[in-house]
Amino acid sequence: MGQLPNALTRRLEEYTPLTATDRDELQILCDQSTRTIQPKRDLIAEGEAPPCIYVILDGWACHYRMLEDGSRQIVDFAIPGDLCDLNLFILNRMDHSISAITRLKLAQLGREMLHNIVTHCLNITTALWWVELVSKSIHREWIVNLGQRSAPERIAHLFCEMFLRLESIGLTQGFSCDFPLTQNDIADATGLTSVHVNRTIQELRKRGLIRIERQRLTIPNMLELQEAGRVNPDYLHHRRLSRHTDAGRVSSRGAK
Amino acid sequence: MGQLPNALTRRLEEYTPLTATDRDELQILCDQSTRTIQPKRDLIAEGEAPPCIYVILDGWACHYRMLEDGSRQIVDFAIPGDLCDLNLFILNRMDHSISAITRLKLAQLGREMLHNIVTHCLNITTALWWVELVSKSIHREWIVNLGQRSAPERIAHLFCEMFLRLESIGLTQGFSCDFPLTQNDIADATGLTSVHVNRTIQELRKRGLIRIERQRLTIPNMLELQEAGRVNPDYLHHRRLSRHTDAGRVSSRGAK
DNA sequence: CGTTCAGTTGACCATGATCAAGAGTGGTGG
DNA sequence: CCACCACTCTTGATCATGGTCAACTGAACG
């Protein structure tokens, strides 16, 4: 109980209250078998059927698909507490790849172990599906981002999203957080070129919306950045978003 | 047994073999309580928490999010056999809206009924999650579509996707199918303007890739259209895609 | 100390957006 | 039955966002 909870536990508690037993269960699960992956290495490649399910305990990864011409679209980032491939509990083959951005620390969950959980711990099972559905909601928001927003909006949106996701698992310090993405990564996630990402980030910097120095992002004014990115954080389904809303914001479910 | 299976059954059988009992169960489920929705009507709006889960038995719908400035991004289309909001089995509020494109015929599944299924029919439960995960894979593909493909590619991709999805539930006739989307709908789905969609569709028509007349799409040469849209249908996780591949196509999980 | 990779800058170009107007079609009510 | 309205599709002219190509800087690392 006096122990610092691991990333998975922190993540699940964002959605569902867990009992002490649940937490112990998760701790055991995450300690059982861990693995380290070096930056830029593929964790799982499209078409593979890994024997176990990974949970990120530390570091950043990205989910992506490649096209024949070599272009890469990142479809999501994964941070501590994220599950890599719950898919495989049901689907048989990966339909996309996952690659390490930073050095990664992973927990490996065998299928039997997970099956055990699913049949015994309702709380944890519910929370796991919750994580899965939230990640689907994030996919939808990325579709909106790519389809409707301008370059500065897309990038501001990405900064907000990652900050809020890190905050929900306790990985922010005040208004700054680690931010290991290269401008190339940002380009592949936002459907822009790295040249344009570069110019756009400079613009956001000039407007005083963000500061980035040595893999660290600082957001001087969160509400302003949210406006710049037209972000409505509801899609993240976090419990405590009150910090980043104000009375002036029109509620998402107001009119129409 | 001599009965024509309903859309949900056809859909689930695309993924998992079902027993006669499973099928009966599904038939009862879908007959229990149905509802009709008129075109352009919202079925469920963002922020709502509908008491039951809808399954589309007939017609087309779309999932979308609105931005404050009134722009709409369609994030997915739903056709017969698709579940509208399995989300709500776990999440409490809708994070997006669903609207009827054509007149819709829906089956309404109460939470208790679904809960019953989940605890008693493993086959059906697995297939339902399968549907959910495939729809997530489709989201990923839409991200790729919006992020990496040109206007003609995006639209060709959409035509292919919808045709293949309809085909898998037996709703195509040869190489044509119903196609009730307006150019405006296509614009909102592909992140383009309707003006540009119009010109692009004319181009696809001129290239002989598609024919559209009175809500009906015909694809003279499926492989050619797939190439034009840079489509790799693996992401749909259909069982029988062999019809639309040829020896010349490089397998998706070949090199690297 | 050279190599590699991320970031930066400039010049030019192309895809797709915007604005505006008109044609075709179907539905509705007087 | 016809007039009107609404909606979808179509076309043209102009513009802007973001892409392409290419070169250069600076830091990190062996």
Q: Is the pLDDT of residue B174 over 90?
A: yes
The string over B56-89, giving b where at least 16 C-beta atoms fall within 10 Å of a residue's C-beta and e elsewhere, is bbbbbbbbbbbeeeeebbbbbbbbbbbbbbbbbb
- CA angle A13-A17-A19, nearest 5°? 105
- CA angle B125-A111-A40, nearest 5°? 110
**Which nucleotides of strand D are protein-proximal, with an atom < 7 A from a CB?**
7-13, 17-22
The string over A223-256, giving b where at least 16 C-beta atoms fall within 10 Å of a residue's C-beta and e elsewhere, is eebbebbbbbbbbbbbeeeeebbeeeeeebeeee
Asked if the Cβ–Cβ distance from B67 to A144 is below 8 Å, we say: yes
Report CA(B197)–C1'(D18) in Å, whole number. Answer: 19
Asked if the Cβ–Cβ distance from B135 to A130 is below 8 Å, we say: no
Of A75, A90, A133, Cβ closest to residue B90: A133
Of B48 and B240, the one with more pLDDT:
B48
Chain A hits for B191, CB-CB cut-off 8 Å, are: 146-148
Rounded to the nearest angstrom, the minimum Cα separation between A211 and chain B is 26
Q: Do residues A36 and A105 touch, judged by C-beta distance below 8 A?
A: yes
Residues 172-201 of B with CB under 7 A from strand C: 191-193, 195-196, 200
B169-183: average pLDDT:
96
Residues 88-147 of B with CB under 7 A from strand C: none
Cβ-based neighbours of A6, under 8 Å, separated by 6 or more: A26, A27, A30, A57
The CA distance from A181 to B30, in Å, is 47
Q: What is the pLDDT of residues B81-102, one digit of tens each?
A: 999 978 777 888 899 999 999 9
The string over B211-243, giving b where at least 16 C-beta atoms fall within 10 Å of a residue's C-beta and e elsewhere, is ebeeeebebeebeebbebbbbbbbbbbbeeeee
Handedness of CA B166, B169, B175, B177 (dihedral sign): negative
The CA distance from A17 to A127, in Å, is 9
Q: What is the pLDDT of residues B109-119, one digit of tens each?
A: 988 888 888 88
Asked if the Cβ–Cβ distance from B148 to A191 is below 8 Å, we say: yes
Q: Which residues of chain A have pLDDT under 70?
A: 1-3, 240-256
pLDDT reported for residue A114: 86
Pick from A103, A151, A128: which is nearest to A12 by CA?
A: A128
Of B2 and A11, the one with more pLDDT:
A11
pLDDT reported for residue A243: 59
Q: What is the pLDDT of residues B7-19, one digit of tens each?
A: 999 999 988 889 9
The CA distance from A196 to A43, in Å, is 29
Residues 89-118 of A with CB under 8 A from B: 90-91, 95-96
B181's tokens: 């989307």
Query: Between A and B, how many CB-CB pairs are < 8 A?
Result: 115
Q: Do residues B131 and B70 touch, judged by C-beta distance below 8 A?
A: no
Q: pTM (2 decimals)?
A: 0.93
